[in-house]
Structure 1
Amino acid sequence: MKAAALQDYHARMQRVLDHIDRHLDDDLDLDALSSIAAYSKYHFHRQFTATFGLSVHRYVQLARMKRASYRLAYEDAKSVTDIAMDAGYDAPDAFARAFRQRFRQSPSSFRKSPDWEPWLAAFGPLDDARSKLMQKTFTIDAVTIRDVPATPVAIMEHRGDPTTLGATIQRFIAWRKAAGLHPKTNPTFTVWRSERRPASPADYSVDLCVGTDRPIEADSEQIKAGVIPGGRCAVLRVVGHTDNLEPAALYLYRDWLPASGEETRDFPIYCQRLSFFPEVPEHETVADVFLPLK
């Protein structure tokens, strides 16, 4: 009974987090959120804080600010004023003060040249809160084996400190926009050539790729042509909060592979990103993780 009660409690709180992600533009007051959880509003805020280590107000504020920062960095067409309004601020100057306090940059400065290290630190409490309920568990039934066709790609390499990956992603998005390679028509891949947390940050290595059979002119500073090879792959789909796919990769290597009797092929583990935040709420993002097999 205790296990069932705890599971029910976690399910209610998960509904609240999903509702917040889905309705960041709405009035997310205690009355609304406590009704989603089916708890008394007089106790809900204390239950939320005890569970996640953040007040409801702080959690909503951070979730809105994360979406705003993504839009500043990756959505040039959206004005700073519109982004401020979407984040729940009545005026751009109030948004600018809050943004500067949290990230040590103005919104316009962040849009031009984001400093990702304070950004990562600022959202640590949000990531910690979500990890309390969002620990993904995978099963053997969730893994499928596919024959994957070879995919020619344009590659932007990131080599070095992972805290600067955001800047590489920003350049990658700008390049593919200029090249007319939209995610809806040209698939997006990430190839992991190192551990997520190598012993030395300088050893961090990842390729950002977009599928295209268009000839790629050699560009020593940015883009080179390559291929994600075809062949058999174990594939694990991850739905929701796909910014950290390490648990899925670990499951494939540590649990699925030894039990499967399969052997890996000589190409790194990689993922295809099928939907993106903030185009969809974070809990609706989808990615497939591919483990190449012989």
Structure 2
Amino acid sequence: DDELLTALLRAVNRLGAKGRGEESPAVQKSREELLTDQVCQYVFAHLSERITLADIAGELHYSANHLGKIVQEVLGMNFSAYLQKTRLSYAAHLLREKKQMGVGEIAHLTGYTSSDSFARVFRQEYGLTPREYRHGA
């Protein structure tokens, strides 16, 4: 996957390069979307871990500030909001589909260090506790 992405980025750069080596707006947008896809893939692959934008930026060889601006532009939300939305969305999926899993286990799998903080954030987002959501979903 990494080799393919690198080759695609090289090809996009070559095709979109102008006289002084500048990228066309379409090439820049494609590059930003590919980079954001990498961020999203990293988040989902490491969902149960402590994730920071700085960690991802280091992995992708970007500055955290620059990467944060790209994520904001492409996704329409900052990295923290995206991370929380992704965690809660996956937690809601697990609550609906994996009835045998406990709420604490789901909290851990989605990167929350305590069931209480998970339940509080979940309730803020969905208006229900995780247990209420599970039984009503």
TM-score, normalised to structure 1's length? Answer: 0.36
- Larger strand proportion of the pair: 1
| Counterparts of 2:94 and 2:30, CA distance in 1 | 35
CA contact (8 A) 1:84 1:91 kept: yes
Change (3 A) 1:46 1:5: closer
User: Would you say 1:77 and 2:100 are equivalent positions?
Assistant: yes
- Counterpart AA for 1:65: L
CA deviation after TM superposition for structure 1 residue 71, in Å: 0.9
- Counterpart AA for 2:38: R
Which residue of structure 1 aligns with residue 36 of structure 2?
13
CA deviation after TM superposition for structure 1 residue 16, in Å: 1.3
1:51 to 50, 57, 74: 74
User: Would you say 1:33 and 2:56 are equivalent positions?
Assistant: yes
2:132 to 109, 124, 133: 109
CA deviation after TM superposition for structure 1 residue 73, in Å: 1.2
SS of the aligned residue for 2:111 comes to coil
CA deviation after TM superposition for structure 1 residue 36, in Å: 4.1
CA contact (8 A) 2:57 2:63 kept: yes
Change (3 A) 1:66 1:29: same
Change (3 A) 1:75 1:6: same
Which residue of structure 1 aligns with residue 27 of structure 2?
4
Give a deviation string over 1:248-268, Cα, whole Å, max 9, x none.
Answer: xxxxxxxxxxxxxxxxxxxxx
Give a deviation string over 1:17-44, Cα, whole Å, max 9, x none.
Answer: 1221222122321122213443211322
| Counterparts of 2:46 and 2:113, CA distance in 1 | 18
TM-score, normalised to structure 2's length? Answer: 0.73
Which residue of structure 1 aligns with residue 120 of structure 2?
97
What RMSD, in angstroms, separates the aligned Cα atoms of the two structures?
Answer: 1.7
Instruction: Please list every run of 5 or more consecutive structure 2 residues that lacks an aligned counterpart in the other structure.
Output: 1-15, 17-23
Give a deviation string over 1:227-255, Cα, whole Å, max 9, x none.
Answer: xxxxxxxxxxxxxxxxxxxxxxxxxxxxx
SS of the aligned residue for 2:54 comes to helix
Instruction: Please list every run of 5 or more consecutive structure 1 residues that lacks an aligned counterpart in the other structure.
Output: 115-294
CA contact (8 A) 1:13 1:37 kept: no
Number of corresponding residues: 114
Which residue of structure 2 aligns with residue 65 of structure 1?
88
CA contact (8 A) 2:48 2:112 kept: no
